[in-house]
Amino acid sequence: MSVLKFASTDQPGRNGLLALVKAKTGQDVLACYQCGKCSAGCPLSSAMDLAPHQVLRAVQLGQRDLVFQSSAIWLCVTCQTCYTRCPQEVDLPRVMDALRSQALQEKIRPAERTVKVFHDVFLGLVERFGRLYEVGLIGGYNLLARQPLASADLGLPMLTRGKLELIPRRVKDQEQIKAIFKRAAELELEEITGQSVAAAPPASVPS
Amino acid sequence: MPRIGVFVCHCGTNIAATVDCGGVAEAARGFPGVVHATDFTYLCAEAGQRKIQDAIAEHRLNRVVVASCSPRMHEPTFRKAVAQAGLNPYLMEMANIREHCSWVHADRQVATAKATEIIRMVVAKVARNEPLTAKQVGLTKKLLVIGGGIAGIQAALDVANAGHQVTLVERTPTIGGKMAMLDKTFPTLDCSACILTPRMVELSQHPNIELRTYAEVLSVKGFVGNFEVEILQKARKVNHLTCTGCGTCWQKCPEKNVPSEFDVGMGRRTAIYIPFPQAVPNKPVIDTANCRYVRHLAAKERGEKLMECRVCEKLCPTKSIDWEQKDEIIVDRFGAIIVANGYDTFDHSVYGEYGYGKYPDVITGLQLERLMNASGPTKGEVVRPSDGKHPHSVVFLACVGSRDDKVGRPYCSKICCMYTAKHALMLKEHDPNIQTYVFYIDIRAAGRGYEEFVRRVQEEYGSTYIRGRVSWIYPQDGKLMIKGEDTLLGRPVEVEADLVVLATGITAAKGAVDLMQTIGISYDTYGFINEMHPKLRPVETNTDGVYLAGCASGPKDIPDSVSQASAAAVKVCGLFSQDYLTTDPMTSVVDQMKCVGCFLCEEVCPFRAVERETLRGGKVVARINESVCKGCGLCVAACRGEALNLKGFTDQQLLAQVTALLRA
């Protein structure tokens, strides 16, 4: 088990991770007093390598590797149960989100690869069609997750009952969707570079 | 001839549901000496009491048995009732047919038979009751306070302000106690000296208070209202009547290397000294173990040569140095005693894993207080004792000598969580670049504003709290390595520190047990005083007239100690508001004709009520001090010659009870 080390030369405020989370989310993780109520109510904590309160503890101690290599940040489904119940009002789902996005920015391999695959396929489809295309999601996810025949037995019954449409539908105004994705990419770049990317909203997007 | 009246109470249905009260009264009419017996729904009610009083007059009763509940609640009620009817209150006896009978039995027939037997026994006893009279003794309205810490100071001031005389005895050369050693107080961060020293001065100038520092209590005799106490006034070698406290002597004393008790070894003092600048009294004492002149005299006696000094004597402008001054014993009388002998901190040298107390940069919380204090040995600079450098990384260990059965201290010292948080905060205030780590088991911050304070230290002052006990401290490259565990993450932790501060717990003050034995009060395994009742009588000891305050009865913070001191003061004022004390007449009595003077009774008496009396023939016999005797009966049981008897429970009475039961 890795030893948590603190050198006597450590500077106050050295905890970059704490500052990063604060900058990304506005959340003061030091407010967490480790009561464990978040982990007690989390529907997924049993599957996580670090329980939700331990993720916060690792942030408090500035343990980057522990946090970014954990499965917990990827398994969190942002259900908000923890935040709703937290006595110290720490927005844990927001912290999880920030940690995921930071992990991606730092190109750290997600501990749960398929979660990332799902997000990628899902967002790819939304970007393309402006809405979800189930058959594309199932197919794309199964291929990229290297499990092509997963849940295949459900395919035919769903098709015959008209639950799946083979032909994708599109939203009417594709331009708006494009503008949203463009702005999201700009915001992300802003966060990484720290400089604001001048982007007047396109005329077609109602403000 | 006894004319006994028996009154059987129904207690609503409490007794009547299981006992045939009318039947019992009927049966009681046949017992020897009974001239009247009846039953009633509630005898404790006014109508019930009147019924008893009327019967006393009508039937010329001279003994009364009330068959009802336990005497604990209503014995005073019925004693008063019969007294109003002109009967000596001790000629009334209660037969407990509720707790001992109706409440614990279901079968009505059996319960009724048992109630009858209980009453039969009490009737046999009451026939042999003698009238008893409570005695009155005078009292000395003067209080002795032992210990001059904040608890003792507060108690002394409160009682003195109520108009009573107080003598305060303090072992060290100054009052102020541990609080005077502190830099700041949690959670308000008040300067400790700033709030304490005005009280110290007020005490020393109070017309009702006699202050005796550098003194100890040698012996305590007597009883509530009338204690006789021997006080040892240690020789100061300085005449405090003429000394002005100018300071020339302690500035010029050449012996400058004595470890200062007040600075817990962090600083040095001279041989003639005051413990700290605001000491009260602000006049020095000579520490004879370190004084060069005293050592010279001792060497001369051994035939050796050692330089004579006497610098203080030569320089003193008022000629106050008095080499001839000797220890003195003062005897005084007091009506009450408040024990506020305080505490000491746990000696951490038993912990090998923390360096046996030998690593210079592993210090205690109290030592850190002295380092942080602006009038302390480093003028408020927090530096490493080893090399005088400012520390950058400081690690605190909570629960050192607390919650640890292995070192015989299973209890929580209560104040360490808070003072450690205060230290972590204060260090940041001293130097914002300091990193602090606190290893703890639990945070116990119960008190107004306490939890908020500890949160602030973590959230605003960025102190890293790590949940887990440190297993090992070892030196490495001039630093200290601390190995612990973050039990929240379940991972080992290593911290490199410049300074380690141990939150050493509270233990009973040195010599506490000797003091408790001298006074004659009970104490627990750890040397803390046992209260008379932990909840309802928390400032009384098991000896009448002896009260307690502060850490004498276990770990307490300043507000608790002060509250307790004021509470003890009120108890003393209550006692002193009486002009005489009334004693319970149910005490032991010695038949001096039978007493052989073995004094087994003296050994078993928990209240020290047995005294020795020399008869005219020279025979030494026991005598019971009725003011002290609690009527527990231990001496009666111990007496081999049947010389002792307990009034109200004489052997004759008890045997009559047993005989009555056996003959039935």
Ordered by start, the domain boundaries in chain B are: 4-126, 344-507, 584-647
**Residue B628, Cα to own-chain centre: how many angstroms?**
19
Question: What 3-state DSSP class applies to B478?
Answer: coil
Is the CB of residue B386 less than 8 Å away from at least one CB of chain A?
A: no
Nearest to B144 by CA among B338, B295, B298, B394: B338
Q: Check CB contact under 8 Å for B488 and A34.
A: yes
Question: What 3-state DSSP class applies to B646?
Answer: strand
Model pLDDT, residue B38: 97
Which chain A residues have a beta carbon less than 8 Å from that of B393?
Answer: 6-10
Is the CB of residue B273 less than 8 Å away from at least one CB of chain A?
A: no
DSSP label at residue B630 = -
Tell me: cis bond preceding B89? Omega within 30 of 0 counts: no
pLDDT in tens, B267-293: 999 999 999 999 999 999 999 999 999
pLDDT in tens, B548-569: 999 999 999 999 999 999 999 9
Model pLDDT, residue A207: 44
The enclosing H or E element of B566 equals: helix B558-576
> Cβ neighbours of residue B260 under 8 Å, at least 6 residues apart?
B266, B267, B268, B269, B275, B377
Pairwise CA distance, residues A177 & A171, whole Å:
9
Model pLDDT, residue B134: 87
- pLDDT category of residue A202 using cuts at 50, 70 and 90: low
Bridge pairing between strands B92-96 and B63-68: parallel
Pairwise CA distance, residues B639 & B610, whole Å:
12
Q: Check CB contact under 8 Å for A8 and B392.
A: yes
Nearest to B568 by CA among B193, B151, B239: B151
Pairwise CA distance, residues B664 & B659, whole Å:
9
DSSP label at residue B537 = B
Does the domain at B344-507 match CATH 3.50.50.60? Answer given as yes
CATH class of the domain whose range is B584-647: alpha beta
pLDDT at residue A199 tops 70: no
Q: Kindly list the distances between the CA atom of residue B537 and the CA atoms of B48, B151, B542, B571, B628, in Å, as whole numbers in the listed order.
A: 33, 17, 10, 10, 19
Pairwise CA distance, residues B279 & B290, whole Å:
20
Q: Which residues, listed in sequence order, are joined to residue B485 by a DSSP beta bridge? A: B492
B342 Rama class: left (phi>0) / alpha (psi -120 to 50) / beta: left
Q: Kindly list the distances between the CA atom of residue B541 and the CA atoms of A119, B111, B153, B325, B538, in Å, as whole numbers in the listed order.
A: 72, 41, 19, 36, 8
Nearest to A139 by CA among A110, A164, A111, A173: A164
Q: Check CB contact under 8 Å for B489 and A53.
A: no
- Give the domain ranges of chain A: 16-105, 112-196
pLDDT at residue B250 tops 70: yes
Distance from CA of A188 to the nearest CA of B (A): 29
Average pLDDT over residues B80-109: 96
Is the CB of residue B477 less than 8 Å away from at least one CB of chain A?
A: no
Distance from CA of B228 to the nearest CA of A (A): 56
Model pLDDT, residue A151: 83
Which chain B residues have a beta carbon less than 8 Å from that of A54?
Answer: 488-490
Q: Check CB contact under 8 Å for A5 and B494.
A: yes
Residue from the list B392, B488, B495 with its beta carbon closest to the beta carbon of A57: B488
CATH class of the domain whose range is B4-126: alpha beta
Q: Inter-axis angle of helices A52-60 and A92-105, to 10 degrees?
A: 60
Nearest to B234 by CA among B167, B168, B301, B170: B170
Average pLDDT over residues B300-304: 90
Which chain A residues have a beta carbon less than 8 Å from that of B437?
Answer: 6
Pairwise CA distance, residues A58 & A55, whole Å:
5
SS3 content of chain A, % helix, strand, coil (to 5): 55, 0, 45
Q: Which residues of chain A approach chain B closer than 8 Å at the C-beta?
A: 1-13, 28, 30-31, 33-34, 50, 53-54, 57-58, 60-61, 63, 66
Model pLDDT, residue B622: 96
What does the longest C-alpha to C-alpha distance in chain B come to? 98
Nearest to B24 by CA among B36, B35, B37: B37
- Number of Cβ pairs < 8 A linking chain A and chain B: 72
Is the CB of residue B410 less than 8 Å away from at least one CB of chain A?
A: no
Interface pTM, i.e. ipTM: 0.80
**Cβ atoms of residues B599 and B612 within 8 Å:** yes
Residue from the list B462, B488, B496 with its beta carbon closest to the beta carbon of A6: B496
Pairwise CA distance, residues A185 & B557, whole Å:
58
Average pLDDT over residues B601-627: 91
Model pLDDT, residue B257: 95
Model pLDDT, residue B317: 96
Q: Check CB contact under 8 Å for A3 and B392.
A: no
Pairwise CA distance, residues B648 & B127, whole Å:
12
**Cβ atoms of residues A68 and A20 within 8 Å:** no
Residue B490 phi/psi, 5-degree rounding, is: 70, 35
Q: Pick the residue from chain B with its C-alpha nearest to A88.
A: B455
**Between 1.10.357.10, 1.10.1060.10, 1.10.10.60, 1.10.3720.10, what CATH number should domain A16-105 receive?**
1.10.1060.10
Q: Pick the residue from chain A with its C-alpha nearest to B451.
A: A33
Average pLDDT over residues B199-213: 97
**Cβ atoms of residues B471 and B485 within 8 Å:** yes
Pairwise CA distance, residues B624 & B644, whole Å:
9
State the alpha helices, DSSP H only, in A30-166. Answer: 37-41, 52-60, 64-68, 72-75, 81-85, 92-105, 113-129, 134-144, 152-160
Pairwise CA distance, residues A76 & A45, whole Å:
8
Average pLDDT over residues B11-38: 96
Q: Pick the residue from chain A with its C-alpha nearest to B458.
A: A30
Which chain A residues have a beta carbon less than 8 Å from that of B467?
Answer: 34
Average pLDDT over residues A85-106: 95
Give this prediction's pTM.
0.82
- pLDDT category of residue A14 using cuts at 50, 70 and 90: low
Report chain A's mean pLDDT, rounded to a whole number. 89
Pairwise CA distance, residues A18 & B180, whole Å:
40
Pairwise CA distance, residues B282 & B296, whole Å:
27
For the record, the structure tokens of B351 come out as: 């912990």
Model pLDDT, residue A152: 83
Model pLDDT, residue B638: 95
Q: Pick the residue from chain A with its C-alpha nearest to B486.
A: A4
Which chain B residues have a beta carbon less than 8 Å from that of A4?
Answer: 486, 489, 491-494
Amino acid present at A39? S
Q: Check CB contact under 8 Å for A53 and B488.
A: yes
- Residue to mutate among A4, A35, A37, A55, with most B CBs inside 10 A, is A4
Model pLDDT, residue B285: 97
Which chain A residues have a beta carbon less than 8 Å from that of B462?
Answer: 12-13, 30
For the record, the structure tokens of B624 come out as: 């019971």
Q: Pick the residue from chain A with its C-alpha nearest to B460.
A: A30
For the record, the structure tokens of A148 come out as: 């092509």
Model pLDDT, residue B380: 94
Query: Quick one: how many helices (H) and strands (E) in chain B?
Result: 17, 34
Pairwise CA distance, residues B515 & B521, whole Å:
9
Question: Percent of chain B having pLDDT more than 90?
Answer: 94
Which chain A residues have a beta carbon less than 8 Å from that of B434?
Answer: 12
pLDDT at residue B299 tops 60: yes
Which chain B residues have a beta carbon less than 8 Å from that of A3?
Answer: 491-494
Residue from the list A4, A9, A10 with its beta carbon closest to the beta carbon of B486: A4
Q: What is the CA angle A175-A176-A178, rounded to 5?
A: 65
CA quadruple B159, B161, B166, B170: dihedral positive or negative? Answer: positive
Average pLDDT over residues B652-661: 95
pLDDT at residue A2 tops 90: no
Bridge pairing between strands B546-548 and B336-339: parallel
Residue B81 phi/psi, 5-degree rounding, is: -60, -45
For the record, the structure tokens of B266 come out as: 């962090």
Residue from the list B435, B459, B464 with its beta carbon closest to the beta carbon of A31: B459
Distance from CA of A78 to the nearest CA of B (A): 22
